[in-house]
Chain A
């Protein structure tokens, strides 16, 4: 991987090594006593697809959540175009949050069962107060982009397949035209055709918006095909922790 930062303890500043793109500097995350990420650096430049690889439990998903500004790291910082992101108690402003989107492995776990697919896609637009007419138009546009027909949009998640629901989640992720899209095993549950379709939609969006993509996957063929470069997360740091030292 790695863009190393010379002074990990230094104050966040705009003169970081990487001026554009999404960057993680020296991210450390603990869950309880367990250290999941240990001073990890990662940089995603506009337009590139970074593959992230590592054994189960090596912290790939945690890193994605940190980059998506969903989880505050214990130390280290996330920077967007050189500017550190964060704030009081990690309350990230919507204008910043909407620039990074994330797509999870299980669309079912990531969607409100009470919402129709149309409402699901429109949710991020409504959350930021987009006018109704614009929301409706944008929702239709997004549904079209991911290949969801209008008869599907009135259905709720239980009445559509995983592939259709993941496409709705992709549409939702693209609602605010993010600069970065993080795909956390986003196609692992999908059949080959749907996977290729999702990949085609993402690559097309990426080309038009010069967006950066993080691709987390266990599939070597997918990495080889899609990622422009591959970063390995070593699992060594997360081996079961030894008993706490007793004195």
Chain B
């Protein structure tokens, strides 16, 4: 409900905020993050370089691999959101084309590739299925001048993997509620029960990335 103005829910204790110095894994193997979840985190971190290869070299092989991974998931996501298969196919292709065209806007210190692709797919769903505009916040000056530090990128990618681990460990019923919220099967008033997700750490990390962009703008 809207009865309380509640900013505390996602705020973790001050002590657990990452310090300005980026958090580091205890040990690195060939420059890749350790502490990763058992699953495909390794691959997921690599998607960042795929997007960069598209941005820097219009690399079609990198795109084909991203396509193979994400296009079917986008299509499934859109079908679950109420689209028929033909429209979902068309939209999934458009989402992937947008990924190519906007590869220079992807900020790996703020989002994983999966998160970024989700936002593009979500916006496509609003445009096409709901025939509605989606107002977006003011752009922050993302560009070469604000290229993130590698440590910040790794930290965000690792923390997203940890979030994924935490969400996977939730009881099945709660996971299904989260899915329902993202498919619009719960009204925004009904999803109050979703709060309390373990988002404190990743929120702080994104906040640092935003501070860096604001600094680059000024």
Binding between chains A and B: no
Q: Which residues of A contact B (CB under 8 A)?
A: none
